Amino acid sequence: MIKKYNKPELLAPAGGLEKLKIAFQYGADAVYFGGKAFSLRAAAQNFSYEDMEEGIKIAHSLGKKMYCTVNIMPRNEEIEKLREFLKKLEEIGIDAVLVSDLGVFATVKKHTNIPIHISTQANTINYEACNMWEGLGAERVVLARECSLKDIKEIRKNISKELELEVFVHGSMCMSYSGRCLLSSYMTGRDSNRGSCAQSCRWKYSLMEEKRPGEYFPIEEDSNGTYIMNSKDLCMIQHIPELMEAGISSLKIEGRNKSEYYVAIIVNAYRKAIDLYYSNPENYELPKEIYNEIYKVSHREYNTGFFFNEPKADGMIYNTNDHIREYDVVAIVHDYNEKTQIALCKQRNKFILGDKVEILTPDSVGDSFVIEELFNENGKAIEECPHPGMMCKVKIPFSVEKNSFIRKKLN
């Protein structure tokens, strides 16, 4: 007998306002984002106050939510600015903030009425810690990525029904414990615990013997060398039933620094998988075409992280730090004329007449066609679309909507 929990929230990354719009269009129930300060993704586009206000209006008009990450460990001199930042978040109607520092938690409680979610950076791995956070006033805990499904079920049994649990189910993994890493700070001066990780763990390393300075010995598995700390990407789309039966309230996708296409394709795949499961749990089976979608975006080798067992060598990639990329996004649809079947598009990568391409939309997966008619923005026939960012017009023999992606399989 399948234990029935409420359908979980699908939570998507929003590195900027356009990604927020695409995340909602492709099926996210909520997004998480960072402001220009106090977030652990300094390299992301992040949100200005104006962007936050617009994003909140969009989200709430759709019945969706926005959560702001305030998960750095602030210094003394930052506390006053933090108070001001939090008050502005409350003014615009933010749905929750994610925090990991007790001082930030106390500041939120003292100066605002914003709901609090505990960030994965707080390293919560047991039910007593969850109960403690709830006792302090938290509404949700984002569990550490080191929790197994068994751990999550045990936690769920020993906490109140009101406390929500959130877990990461897809995206990059960190070789350090829940992201608590000093490697980047030591090697580059960029502190990963303040949002500036240089991903030093993914670099190629060699050994140097003390008495042979300048003579490097590769740590090698093969001729490519070894990337001894380069972890695989997390992917749990094949295990939707197990996630659903664990009592998780929110399934989280990593990737605030990733592309709009990444957000669209991954959110779309998980949205369809979750909805299919809840339409018929007893007979659920992940369709092959949905599973195949997650391989049509740039990624590292996939792995299930800590959900089933503690990853050892099978969780690492030792021979390269390159991503696997089998498709290029060649254009994004800006408008479509149903009568003429002409789509106004913005070019992303070169494509030409005769190319066989696929379309990703929120409603369809992998519909393909051959480009038989191609025009520049002014309607003049052209044979290729070579210039990054150029506007062009493409005849698409079926209806598509704004923010549909045209992609081409690489040879």
Do 276 and 380 belong together in one domain?
Answer: no
The answer to the question of residue 125 being in a domain is: yes
pLDDT of the residue at 120:
92
pLDDT of the residue at 385:
95
Last residue of a domain, one of 249, 284, 313: 313
Last residue of a domain, one of 291, 313, 335: 313
Q: For the chain, what is the radius of gyration of the CA atoms?
A: 23
Taking the CA of residue 370 as centre, how many other CA atoms within 13 Å lie in the half-sphere pointing to its CB?
Answer: 3
Do 247 and 355 belong together in one domain?
Answer: no
Do 299 and 344 belong together in one domain?
Answer: no
pLDDT of the residue at 9:
98
Of the candidate ranges 56-65, 80-89, 320-329, the one whose mean pLDDT is the lowest = 320-329
Do 401 and 354 belong together in one domain?
Answer: yes
The answer to the question of residue 195 being in a domain is: no
For Cα atoms 378, 383, 385, give the angle at the middle one, nearest 5 degrees: 70
Q: Look up the domain containing 82 and give its range.
A: 9-176+231-313
Q: Mind listing the pLDDT tens digit for each residue in 265-314?
A: 999 999 999 999 999 999 999 999 999 999 999 878 888 888 998 776 56
For residue 49, pLDDT over 80 is answered with yes
pLDDT of the residue at 200:
65
pLDDT of the residue at 199:
67
At 371, the pLDDT band (50, 70, 90 cuts) reads very high
The answer to the question of residue 291 being in a domain is: yes
The answer to the question of residue 159 being in a domain is: yes
| Mean pLDDT confidence for 367-389 | 95
Of the candidate ranges 13-17, 82-86, 363-367, the one whose mean pLDDT is the lowest = 363-367
The answer to the question of residue 132 being in a domain is: yes
Do 308 and 381 belong together in one domain?
Answer: no
Considering its fold, how many domains does the chain have in total?
A: 2
Of the candidate ranges 1-15, 78-92, 180-194, 385-399, the one whose mean pLDDT is the lowest = 180-194
Indicate the average pLDDT of the chain: 88
Rounded Cα distance between 300 and 168, Å, is 16
Strand 164-171 to strand 233-235: parallel, antiparallel, or no bridges (unpaired)?
antiparallel
Last residue of a domain, one of 287, 313, 339: 313
For residue 44, pLDDT over 60 is answered with no
The answer to the question of residue 119 being in a domain is: yes
For residue 95, pLDDT over 80 is answered with yes
* CATH code of the domain covering residue 45: 3.20.20.70
pLDDT of the residue at 368:
94
For residue 1, pLDDT over 80 is answered with no
| Mean pLDDT confidence for 133-138 | 98
Rounded Cα distance between 285 and 23, Å, is 24
Do 300 and 334 belong together in one domain?
Answer: no
pLDDT of the residue at 45:
62
Do 60 and 120 belong together in one domain?
Answer: yes
Q: Mind listing the pLDDT tens digit for each residue in 331-355?
A: 999 999 999 999 999 999 999 999 9
- What percent of the chain shows pLDDT beyond 90? 67
Choice between 348 and 39, residue whose per-residue pLDDT is larger: 348
Do 23 and 148 belong together in one domain?
Answer: yes
* CATH code of the domain covering residue 388: 2.40.30.10
- What percent of the chain shows pLDDT beyond 70? 82
pLDDT of the residue at 321:
62
CB 387 within 8 A of CB 345: no
Supply the pTM of this predicted model.
0.86
Q: Which amino acid is at 229?
A: M
Do 269 and 343 belong together in one domain?
Answer: no
The answer to the question of residue 377 being in a domain is: yes
CB 71 within 8 A of CB 99: yes
Q: Which amino acid is at 91?
A: E
Do 165 and 78 belong together in one domain?
Answer: yes
Choice between 152 and 174, residue whose per-residue pLDDT is larger: 152
pLDDT of the residue at 223:
44
pLDDT of the residue at 252:
98
Rounded Cα distance between 311 and 365, Å, is 32
In sign, the C-alpha dihedral spanning 366, 369, 371, 375 is negative
Q: Mind listing the pLDDT tens digit for each residue in 199-232?
A: 666 666 666 677 777 776 655 544 444 556 667 8
Rounded Cα distance between 276 and 279, Å, is 5
The answer to the question of residue 22 being in a domain is: yes
Structure tokens at 376: 């520049």
Choice between 134 and 36, residue whose per-residue pLDDT is larger: 134
Q: Mind listing the pLDDT tens digit for each residue in 232-244?
A: 889 999 999 999 9
Do 19 and 81 belong together in one domain?
Answer: yes
For residue 405, pLDDT over 60 is answered with yes
Do 253 and 392 belong together in one domain?
Answer: no
